[in-house]
A and B are shown apart, each in its own frame.
Chain A
Amino acid sequence: MSAKHTHVTDVLIVGAGLAGERAAVEAAAAGLNVVILSLIPPRRSHSTAAQGGMQASLGNCAMGKGDSPDVHFGDTVKGSDWGNDQEVARMFVETVPIAVRQMAHWGVPWNRVKAGKYKHPNGMELEDTKDREGLITARDFGGTAKWRTCYTSDGTGHTLQYTMDTVVVKMGITVHDRMEAITVIHDGENCLGVVARCMRTGELNVYLAKSTVIATGGYGRLYGASTNAIICEGSGMSICQDTGVVPLGNMEAVQFHPTGMVPVWILMTEGARGDGGYLLDKNLYRFMPDYEPKKKELASRDVVSRRMVQHMRKGLGVDSEYGPHLWLDVRHLGRKHVWSNLREIANIAMNFNGIDPAKDLVPVRPTQHYSMGGVRTDKNGYGYGLKGLFALGEAACWDLHGFNRLGGNSLAETITAGMIVGEQIARYTLGATQNFNMKLVDDAVKKDEERIKNLVSGQNGKENIYELKKAMEETLMEHVGIFRTGPSLEQGVAKLQELYRRSLKIGLRSSGKGANPEMAAALRMPGMLRLALTISYGALQRTESRGSHAREDYPKRDDTNWLKRTLAYWKEGADLPALDYEPIVCNELPPGDRGYGESSGQAAAAGKK
Chain B
Amino acid sequence: MSNRQLTFSIFRFNPNLPGDKPRMQEYKLEEQKGMSLFVALTKIREEIDPTLMFDFVCRAAICGSCAMMINGRPSLACKTLTKDLPSQITLMPLPVFKLIGDLSVDTGTWFRDLQVRTESWVHTSKKFDPKALEERMDNELAVQIYEPERCIECGCCVASCVTANIREDFLGATGINRVARFMIDPRDERSDADYFEVVGNEDGAFGCVGLMACDDNCPIEVPLQTQLAFVRRKMASAGLKLESGGLRKSG
Query: Contact string, B136-161, partner A, CB cutoff 8 A, digits 1/0?
Result: 11110011011001101100000000
Is B71 an interface position by the 8 A CB rule?
no
Among B59, B101, B108, B119, residue most surrounded by chain A Cβ atoms (within 10 Å): B108
Interface residues of A in 204-243 (CB under 8 A from B): 229-231
B16 touches A112 (CB 8 A): no
Nearest B residue to A172, CB-CB: B116
Please name the residue on chain A nearest to B145 by beta carbon.
A109
B163 contacts A by Cβ under 8 Å: no
- CA–CA, A14 and B50, complex, Å: 27
Given contacts A111-B142, A155-B150, contact A133 B136 (CB under 8 A): yes
CB distance from B225 to the nearest CB of A (A): 20
Nearest CB on B from A512, distance (A): 9
Q: How many residues of chain A have a CB within 8 Å of chain B? A: 68
Partner of A49, one of B16, B58, B109: B58
Q: Does A391 sit within 8 A of B, measured CB to CB?
A: no
B14 on interface, CB distance cutoff 8 Å? yes
A352 neighbours in B (Cβ, 8 Å): 34, 36, 60, 79
B152 touches A229 (CB 8 A): no
B57 touches A175 (CB 8 A): no
Q: B241 at the A/B interface (Cβ < 8 Å)?
A: no
A166 touches B51 (CB 8 A): no
* Separation of A515 and B185 alpha carbons in the complex (Å): 41
Q: How far is the CB of A268 from chain B (nearest CB, A)?
A: 11
A43 in contact with B111 (CB, 8 Å):
yes
| Beta-carbon contact of B121 and A177 below 8 Å | no
Question: When the two chains form their complex, are residues B65 and A40 in contact, meaning their CB atoms are under 8 A apart?
Answer: yes
Given A102-B130, A352-B36, answer yes or no on A109-B57 (Cβ-Cβ < 8 Å).
no
B63 neighbours in A (Cβ, 8 Å): 40, 43-46, 48-49, 229
Q: Are B57 and A46 touching (Cβ within 8 A)?
A: yes
Q: Does A517 contact B (CB under 8 A)?
A: yes
Are A158 and B152 within 8 A (Cβ)? yes
Q: Which of A44, A102, A347 contacts B61 (CB 8 A)?
A: A347
- Evaluate contact between A200 and B57: CB separation under 8 angstroms: no
Q: How far is the CA of A344 from the CA of B185 in the complex (A)?
A: 23
Determine if A286 is an interface residue (Cβ-Cβ < 8 Å): no
B62 touches A344 (CB 8 A): yes
Residues of B with C-beta under 8 A to A332: none
> Which of the candidate stretches A63-71, A188-196, A503-511, A529-537 sits at the interface with the other chain?
A503-511
Q: Of A109, A202, A348, which is within 8 A of B142 by CB? A: A109
Q: Please give, as numbers and ranges, the residues of chain B lying within 8 Å of A377 by CB-CB distance.
A: none
Establish whether residues B134 and A135, one from each chain, have CB atoms under 8 Å apart when the complex forms.
yes
Could you tell me if A230 and B56 are in contact, using CB atoms closer than 8 angstroms?
A: yes
- CA–CA, A593 to B14, complex, Å? 59
Contact with A along B107-123 (1 / 0, CB 8 A): 11101100110011110
**In the bound complex, do residue A178 and residue B187 qualify as a contact, i.e. CB atoms below 8 Å apart?**
no
- Pick from A49, A515, A518: contact of B50, CB below 8 A: A518
Which residues of the other chain, B, contact A134 by a CB distance below 8 angstroms?
A: 136-139
Q: Is A284 an interface residue (CB 8 A)?
A: no
Minimum CB–CB distance from A345 to chain B (whole Å) comes to: 10
Other-chain residue from A100, A166, A510 in contact with B121 (beta carbon distance below 8 A): A166
Q: Which residues of B contact A514 (CB under 8 A)?
A: 14, 16-17, 101
* B119 contacts across to A, CB distance below 8 A: 170
In contact, A230 and B59 (Cβ under 8 angstroms): yes
Complex contact B187–A107 (CB within 8 A) = yes
Check: A513 CB closer than 8 A to any chain B CB.
yes
A510 touches B57 (CB 8 A): no
Q: Specify which of B122, B134, B135, B150 is in contact with A158 (CB 8 Å cutoff).
A: B150
A461 at the interface (CB under 8 A from B): no
| Alpha-carbon distance between A516 and B53 when the two chains are bound, in angstroms | 7
Contacts of B34 in A (CB 8 A): 263-264, 352-353
Confirm or deny: B64 has a beta carbon within 8 angstroms of a beta carbon on chain A.
yes
- How many whole Å from B56's CB to the nearest CB in chain A? 6
Question: B62 near A158 (CB under 8 angstroms)?
Answer: yes
Among B45, B49, B65, B120, contact of A44 (Cβ-Cβ < 8 Å):
B65
Contact yes or no, A515 B100, CB < 8 A: yes
Given contacts A155-B150, A509-B50, A510-B51, contact A515 B16 (CB under 8 A): yes
> Out of A175, A177, A201, which one reaches B16, CB within 8 Å?
A201
Any A CB within 8 A of the CB of B46? yes
A169 CB-CB contact with B under 8 Å: yes
A-B contact pairs, 8 of them (CB 8 A): A46-B63, A100-B134, A105-B126, A111-B142, A230-B58, A351-B61, A510-B49, A516-B50
Q: Give chain B's interface residues, CB within 8 Å of chain A.
A: 14, 16-17, 34, 36, 45-47, 49-53, 55-65, 79, 100-101, 104, 106-109, 111-112, 115-116, 119-122, 124, 126, 128, 130, 132-139, 142-143, 145-146, 149-150, 152-153, 185, 187-188, 220
Besides A200-B100, A266-B60, A516-B51, 14 new A-B residue pairs in contact (Cβ under 8 A), listed by A number: A40-B57, A40-B63, A44-B57, A44-B63, A107-B188, A110-B137, A110-B142, A112-B137, A153-B143, A170-B119, A202-B16, A230-B57, A466-B47, A518-B50
Q: Which 6 A-B pairs have the closest CB atoms?
A: A134-B136, A41-B108, A518-B50, A166-B121, A109-B145, A112-B139
Residues of A at the B interface (CB closer than 8 Å) are 40-41, 43-46, 48-49, 98, 100-102, 104-107, 109-114, 133-137, 152-153, 155, 158-159, 162, 165-167, 169-170, 175, 177-178, 200-202, 229-231, 263-264, 266-267, 344, 347-348, 351-353, 466, 508-511, 513-518
